[in-house]
Amino acid sequence: MWTRSQTVVDGKPVSGDWTIFRNDMPVGRICYDPKQPGIAAWAWSVQQDPNAGGRAWTEEAALSAIKDIAMKPGNAAA
Can you tell me the distance from the alpha carbon of 2 to that of 48, in angstroms, rounded to the nearest whole number? 16
pLDDT score recorded for residue 76: 59
Q: Which residues of 5-23 are buried (b: 16+ CB within 10 A; e: fewer)?
A: eebeeeeeeeebbbbbbbe
pLDDT on residue 25 = 94
> What pLDDT is recorded for position 77?
58
pLDDT of the chain, 78 residues: tens digit per residue: 999 999 999 999 999 999 999 999 999 999 999 988 999 999 999 998 878 999 999 999 999 999 999 888 766 555
Based on its alpha-carbon atoms, the radius of gyration of the chain, rounded to whole angstroms, reads 12
At 45, which helix (H) or strand (E)? strand 42-46
